[in-house]
Amino acid sequence: MATVEKDIKEKSVKISIAKKEIKKKAESLSDRIVVQTELSDGTNWKDLEFSHPERTVRIGTVFSGIGAIEHAFQRLNLRHKIVFAGDIDDKCKMSYFANYEISEDNWFSDIREFDAKPYKGKVDFIVGGAPCQAFSMVGRRLGFEDARGTLFYEFARVVKETQPKLFLFENVRGLLNHDKGRTWRVMHDIFEELGYDVKFRVLNSCDYGIPQHRERIYCLGFKNKTDFKFPAPIDLEYRMYDFLEDYIDTKYFLREKGIKFVTSHKNREKSYTQINGDVQLCQKRNQQFNWHGDFVYHPDSELTPTDAAFDEFVFDVKDVEEKYYLSEKVARYVLAGGTKGFKTSTETDLDIARPLLQSMHKMHRAGVDNYVTHKGRIRKLTPRECLRLMGFRDTFKIVVSDTSAYQQAGNSIVVDVLIALLKQLDITKYGK
């Protein structure tokens, strides 16, 4: 708590100047209206192809966390080079260095002390999201009065000093209406003053493949004028249930009734279904309703995460450790409907997860956090499950404590939303 208070109340000449400039600019822009960029009505982003897959995109990140954009490039198998990255949290540095290639010389801890001028002309794409607590509806919403709020200026400074072809700034939705919209108008104007064509929109991760309600503002700045429109939402195919470690009966596995039908003597005799056979029967369009088609037995369902041919969302199955289950006392607390005038939902096992919080390790009420039940017992999500719900594959190495892993997942950007943006952008056009 002391650290948070220090961050909020920190004073320096630099911060004081930034606050004065922001206040002056906010007054001059009080009547200006900025409108969100439209969604694309063209080809679905999932069907778009990269025009120059042979090119390498040079990326630089600030407030890097655990490298969401870096993981997005990895998942897309795109050529890229990390030019610089940095985060003030030492635990984030541990996770970052365990998962990405970067030299110590190109890592910085405090953006306020980072001189980005030597990287001018050496980076194509800058990505970052200044700490959001100053604007989040979950926090105190002090905005630029919170010293962390002025870190936005540091992001803008890095863009100014490096002059990338484009940048991505991500933050909480609350930023748009903070201080009656004046805060965002200031930021938008600063980006335009830097010479960038600014496009922004609030996107929800459950519209881009991840079963989590997580609305964030995504702001893109283009060095050249563009008619860019944001990727349109797609139908959600998965539930939170599909991302859990101790469940394997996703929609790709037959339940008891289906197994009985597929293995019945009558069904096998009429060759409706082929099981582990050499002859491949034609899969029918209505297979999910009548169970006809091809089926394969997976002994004990021990699928490996490298079996991409089966499905990238089905992971290794392993027993969840006892420490993630809630004691009766804690379970009563998280399932309490509230006290006095405070009421909250007690719903668990949601199809679409509530927003993952960086404070998940503290175990809030069920109306704030995500809890699931297994064999009659309630438990919290594991760090691995939280990472999956942020779009990180199991190839991402967890090298920190559970507490830090929860914080890192909750502070990250959802990788799948970034993938949608990269495809819509055709990010390879900006490579070399």
Report field, pTM of the whole predicted structure over 0.85: no
Q: pLDDT per residue over 78-88, tens digit each?
A: 999 999 999 99
Say if residue 157 is in the same domain as residue 279.
no
pLDDT for 392 equals 96
Q: Average pLDDT, whole number, for the chain?
A: 79
Say if residue 225 is in the same domain as residue 278.
no
Q: Could you tell me whether strands 125-128 and 57-62 are parallel, antiparallel, or unpaired per DSSP bridges?
A: parallel
Say if residue 72 is in the same domain as residue 166.
yes
Say if residue 153 is in the same domain as residue 118.
yes
Say if residue 198 is in the same domain as residue 286.
no
Instruction: Tell me, yes or no, whether 150 lies in a domain.
Output: yes
Instruction: Tell me, yes or no, whether 163 lies in a domain.
Output: yes
Average pLDDT over residues 1-6: 38
Q: pLDDT per residue over 160-170, tens digit each?
A: 999 999 999 99
Least confident of 11-15, 93-97, 211-215: 11-15
Last-in-domain residue among 285, 301, 317: 301
pLDDT higher than 90, residue 18: no
Q: Identify which has the larger pLDDT, 414 or 256.
A: 414
Say if residue 258 is in the same domain as residue 205.
no
Instruction: Tell me, yes or no, whether 394 lies in a domain.
Output: no
Say if residue 129 is in the same domain as residue 260.
no
Last-in-domain residue among 244, 272, 301: 301
Instruction: Tell me, yes or no, whether 37 lies in a domain.
Output: yes
Instruction: Tell me, yes or no, whether 335 lies in a domain.
Output: no
Average pLDDT over residues 338-358: 82
Where does the pLDDT of residue 432 fall: very low under 50, low under 70, confident under 90, or very high at 90 and above? very high
pLDDT higher than 80, residue 131: no
Task: Round to whole Å and give the CA distance between 278 and 284.
Answer: 18
Say if residue 182 is in the same domain as residue 291.
no
**Total number of domains in the chain:** 2
Average pLDDT over residues 108-126: 95
Distances (CA, A) of 30 to 22, 33, 353, 381: 12, 9, 37, 44
How large a percentage of the chain has pLDDT more than 70?
69
pLDDT higher than 50, residue 100: yes
Instruction: Tell me, yes or no, whether 388 lies in a domain.
Output: no
Where does the pLDDT of residue 397 fall: very low under 50, low under 70, confident under 90, or very high at 90 and above? very high
Task: Respond yes or no: is residue 132 known to be catalytic.
Answer: yes
- Catalytic entry in 132, 206, 219, 386: 132
6: number of Cβ within 10 Å? 10
pLDDT for 391 equals 96
Average pLDDT over residues 236-249: 78
Task: Round to whole Å and give the CA distance between 387 and 372.
Answer: 16
Residue type, 359: S
Say if residue 124 is in the same domain as residue 220.
yes
Q: Containing domain of residue 291, as a range? A: 253-301
Instruction: Tell me, yes or no, whether 1 lies in a domain.
Output: no
Say if residue 267 is in the same domain as residue 203.
no
CATH number for the domain that contains residue 166: 3.40.50.150
What interhelical angle do 182-193 and 151-162 show, nearest 10?
20
Instruction: Tell me, yes or no, whether 321 lies in a domain.
Output: no
Q: pLDDT per residue over 319-334, tens digit each?
A: 678 888 888 888 888 8
Task: Round to whole Å and give the CA distance between 191 and 385.
Answer: 36
Q: Could you tell me whether strands 273-275 and 215-222 are parallel, antiparallel, or unpaired per DSSP bridges?
A: unpaired
Least confident of 27-41, 70-84, 221-235, 298-312: 298-312
Last-in-domain residue among 270, 301, 332: 301
Say if residue 212 is in the same domain as residue 297.
no
pLDDT higher than 70, residue 20: no
Q: Identify which has the larger pLDDT, 179 or 333.
A: 333
Between CA 218 and CA 221, with CA 220 as vertex, the angle to 5 degrees is: 155
Say if residue 40 is in the same domain as residue 145.
yes
Task: Round to whole Å and give the CA distance between 82 and 119.
Answer: 12
